Amino acid sequence: MSRLITLTTDFGLSDPFVGIMKGVIFGIAPKATLIDLTHDIEPQNIQQGALVLSSAAPYFPRKTIHLAVVDPGVGTSRHPIVVETPEAIFVGPDNGLLSPAFSNNATTYQLTQSEYFLESFSNTFHGRDIFAPVAAHIATGVWPSRMGKKLDEPIVLDLPRPEQNKTCLRGQVIYADHFGNLTTNISEDDLKQCLPSKPLVLKVGRRTLKQISRSYADCSKGKAGFLLNSWNAIEIFVRDGNAQQQLKIKPGTQVTLQSS
Amino acid sequence: MSRLITLTTDFGLSDPFVGIMKGVIFGIAPKATLIDLTHDIEPQNIQQGALVLSSAAPYFPRKTIHLAVVDPGVGTSRHPIVVETPEAIFVGPDNGLLSPAFSNNATTYQLTQSEYFLESFSNTFHGRDIFAPVAAHIATGVWPSRMGKKLDEPIVLDLPRPEQNKTCLRGQVIYADHFGNLTTNISEDDLKQCLPSKPLVLKVGRRTLKQISRSYADCSKGKAGFLLNSWNAIEIFVRDGNAQQQLKIKPGTQVTLQSS
Amino acid sequence: MSRLITLTTDFGLSDPFVGIMKGVIFGIAPKATLIDLTHDIEPQNIQQGALVLSSAAPYFPRKTIHLAVVDPGVGTSRHPIVVETPEAIFVGPDNGLLSPAFSNNATTYQLTQSEYFLESFSNTFHGRDIFAPVAAHIATGVWPSRMGKKLDEPIVLDLPRPEQNKTCLRGQVIYADHFGNLTTNISEDDLKQCLPSKPLVLKVGRRTLKQISRSYADCSKGKAGFLLNSWNAIEIFVRDGNAQQQLKIKPGTQVTLQSS
């Protein structure tokens, strides 16, 4: 059976690194189907990689294998791991990159069985030498539990949470996409719980945006607005424009949401 | 049977958007084969997307499904559509993006049957919620005619046409590629009809280029020239250089072709 | 049987060129599996393409077909070729691009049998018209020897070799990757042969780097170091940084390695 493997890295696409990982995978699992999530994670930006992976994983079929490498600690004592959940398998370094993608109902194994690695391995490219062959062996049917011993406390990424009080939600921009749209860490659930009664006002920097939009086209061209986006999170946008550039906002900027 | 689906968007490759669409497709059509045309269409540039799609589609096997999303009107009343031709299937928004790729011999259906969409859908990401699942269902064998009712007059993109008189053809640059080569809207057919006798001279800005080349190597290094390119259109180039940058020409610039 | 075809070009991913090549391939070899090595080779940089291809090819299964197009001489008298080795097949222009990927034990054929090309072909896009269909026909089982007559002396790329004397190795940076890491042409073998006794010192510009690292993490953050990288070559890096930008070094810069 063809098994899906997704790839998420900060390797870029201009070098042969990603292609080499795919060559290694097909050498072991010729029937695998490979899908690139992205290879344009900012170098060593674990949080960005974690957000991309966790937002995409739910849209893949059950038992998809998600291989992710954003790995500033390659060659150190940080563990390579595989995580098994009822929905999917995750393979990558134990540095928090995988953690937002799985809930509590997950089992983590430290990758210690070197018969599932390439024969000789480097200290600089575990994507090729460890993670790709491990993902490929899993695709051929090897159980994650055979890859090594259980790891009780994998590193969990400390994603910023919004603060809330009776009148407002204070969060931050956590992701800027290709269009310059700015996703915040304020979710639809946060909103329902804390600010159930509309209308809403969003404050960012010196700017106040009035009234949540239903779609981008609710704003006139070139105007800034905010809406619940496809990740069910509050997003700041500029209609037919680039909010990141035009509003000069980037991940980390504080955002306040309150009733008007 | 494995069915080909191509993808053309302005989503870029740095976010998980394209990967998510592929996850949705494989969840419905596990045997589909996916090919990226490009995801680097300039944000909201419908004409650029239309040119890329229409130039590539003829090179794909019959019955290929072409999924394209450049969709500034997402979440508004613009229709999502599927277009069936004797050669291929096109899925995307009804904003002209698909129109240059199909001739008159095509049937368009408005996508209204929501059983072919994702269960809950957003106002910001129809690529994931409507177009990807529809393309996938077609790949599994669902007829486009079951997706909704016929749409008699889909929006047709108004591509600029060259003007011609007895002595010259006046057109414009419509596309700049990765190498900086500049494709015009003057085709080989226009040339045969209007300027059958060579030699030719091309005027762009204050510059006059003499004599059509057969290949790039007909010019000496660093020199500008023009030829009939692989799209059967007049193209301006700089040998081993970047015409867009060196000649400071971009899409929209007027070009005149005449007998010398 | 599904046959692997890799693609390496300088076409970029923003135009439909790569997608068109894939459409042509699937039209001939519907069961092929395609893998992009990279399409971001610097325009017309044959050496960069050759390094990427030769570093990746060994990681692919036997009989993989490697299609590569960096082709400033397209449309001239340069030959299109196919190279058969015991491990793999290479298809591309005869300009040195393929040569570092195969050893002496290879047979080269000039592509002359036009029944394996597209019916009408251009002088500007042999990737589409010659190389893609030839690779696809090979994937369906056509022997390379049927594609044309033997070519005894294909062009061999003249890659710079390090100079060595009793006390030092003088080489150069030959490749800068996405992270800004700088690969030199000094290999592990050169090192063993010429400088078997450590400790080592590397000199580049006015800078002296002391002591070879085992992994990136051996240096403190922001500091420059050097190590044997995943290509078994000496590489200059900045821990969690970009050596190319911070040290202002690029391919061609001279590097000296000596005992300290």
Smallest Cα distance from B148 to chain C, Å: 29
DSSP A214: S
Phi, psi of C233 (to 5 degrees): -130, 155
Residue B76, pLDDT score: 84
Phi, psi of C221 (to 5 degrees): -55, 135
Residue A178, pLDDT score: 94
Q: Tokens standing for A23?
A: 């060559």
Q: Tokens standing for A152?
A: 């009780």
Test B178 with C22 for CB contact under 8 angstroms.
Answer: no
Chain B contact for C205 (CB, 8 A cutoff): no
Closest to A49 in 3D by CA, of A60, A59, A37, A58 = A37
Residues of chain A found within 8 Å of residue B45, distances taken between Cβ atoms: none
Residue B1, pLDDT score: 57
- 161-190 of C, contacting A, C-beta below 8 A: 177-179
Test C44 with B240 for CB contact under 8 angstroms.
Answer: yes
Smallest Cα distance from C159 to chain A, Å: 18
Residue A251, pLDDT score: 94
In the block, tokens 């953690």 appear at A99
pLDDT in tens, chain A (260 residues): 579 999 999 999 999 999 999 999 999 999 999 999 999 999 999 999 999 999 999 999 999 999 999 999 888 889 999 999 999 999 999 999 999 988 778 999 999 999 999 998 888 999 999 999 999 999 999 999 999 999 999 999 999 999 988 789 999 999 999 999 999 999 999 998 888 777 899 999 999 999 999 999 999 999 999 999 999 999 999 999 999 999 999 999 999 999 88
Minimal Cβ distance to B52: which of C16, C24, C75: C16
CB atoms within 10 A of CB B51: 24
Contacts of A35 (CB under 8 A, 6+ apart): A4, A5, A6, A7, B19, B22, B23, B26, B34
Test B19 with A36 for CB contact under 8 angstroms.
Answer: yes
Interface probe, candidates B6, B34, B35, chain C, greatest C C-beta count within 10 A: B35
In the block, tokens 């940076």 appear at C173
DSSP A131: I
Closest to B29 in 3D by CA, of B62, B69, B2 = B2
How high is the mean pLDDT of chain B? 94
* pLDDT value at C193 more than 90: no
- 78-137 of B, contacting C, C-beta below 8 A: none
| B&C contacts, CB < 8 Å | 89
**Higher pLDDT residue, C204 or B164?**
C204
Chain C contact for B53 (CB, 8 A cutoff): yes
In the block, tokens 């890295």 appear at A9
Type of residue at A111: L
Residue A163, pLDDT score: 95
* H-state helical runs in chain B: 17-28, 46-56, 126, 132-139, 188-194, 243-246
In angstroms, the CA B119 to CA C205 distance is 61
Contact, B36 vs A38, CB < 8 A?
A: no
Q: Tokens standing for A199?
A: 């209308």
Residues of chain A found within 8 Å of residue B74, distances taken between Cβ atoms: 215-217
Q: Model confidence over B217-255: pLDDT tens digits?
A: 999 999 999 999 999 999 999 999 999 999 999 999 999
Test A215 with B123 for CB contact under 8 angstroms.
Answer: yes
DSSP A94: S
Domain ranges of chain B: 4-146, 163-259
Test A56 with B23 for CB contact under 8 angstroms.
Answer: yes
Q: Which residues pair with A204 in a beta bridge?
A: A207, A255
Residue C1, pLDDT score: 57
Chain C contact for B248 (CB, 8 A cutoff): no
Chain A contact for C221 (CB, 8 A cutoff): no
Q: How many residues does chain C have?
A: 260
- Return the residue of C nearest to A76 by Cα: C217
In angstroms, the CA B211 to CA A253 distance is 57
Smallest Cα distance from B153 to chain A, Å: 23
Residues of chain C found within 8 Å of residue A123, distances taken between Cβ atoms: 214-215, 227
| CA C10 to the chain's CA centroid | 12
Helix, strand, or coil (residue A217): helix
Q: Model confidence over B5-35: pLDDT tens digits?
A: 999 999 999 999 999 999 999 999 999 999 9
How high is the mean pLDDT of chain C? 94
**B137-140: long-range contacts, CB 8 A cutoff, minimum separation 24:** B137/B28, B137/B29, B138/B3, B138/B65, B138/B82, B138/B89, B138/B91, B139/B3, B139/B5, B139/B25, B139/B28, B139/B29, B139/B31, B139/B32, B139/B65, B140/B3, B140/B28, B140/B29
CB atoms within 10 A of CB B1: 7
| CATH number of the domain located at residue range(s) A4-146 in this protein | 3.40.50.10790
Mean pLDDT of B139-154: 96
Test B13 with C12 for CB contact under 8 angstroms.
Answer: no
Residue A76, pLDDT score: 84
Test C125 with B177 for CB contact under 8 angstroms.
Answer: no
Closest to B61 in 3D by CA, of A107, C32, A54 = C32
In the block, tokens 């096997």 appear at B61
Test A76 with C4 for CB contact under 8 angstroms.
Answer: no
Chain B contact for A220 (CB, 8 A cutoff): no
Minimal Cβ distance to A4: which of B15, B26, B72: B26
Picking from A185-194, B146-155, C135-144, which range would have the lowest pLDDT averaged per residue? A185-194
* pLDDT value at B112 more than 90: yes
Q: Model confidence over B180-208: pLDDT tens digits?
A: 999 999 999 999 888 877 789 999 999 99
| CATH number of the domain located at residue range(s) C163-259 in this protein | 2.40.30.90
- For chain C, helix (H) and strand (E) counts, in that order, are 6, 14
- Return the residue of B nearest to A8 by Cα: B16
Residues of chain C found within 8 Å of residue A129, distances taken between Cβ atoms: 230
| CA A176 to the chain's CA centroid | 13
Residues of chain B found within 8 Å of residue A56, distances taken between Cβ atoms: 16, 19-20, 23
In angstroms, the CA B183 to CA C22 distance is 22
CB atoms within 10 A of CB B159: 14
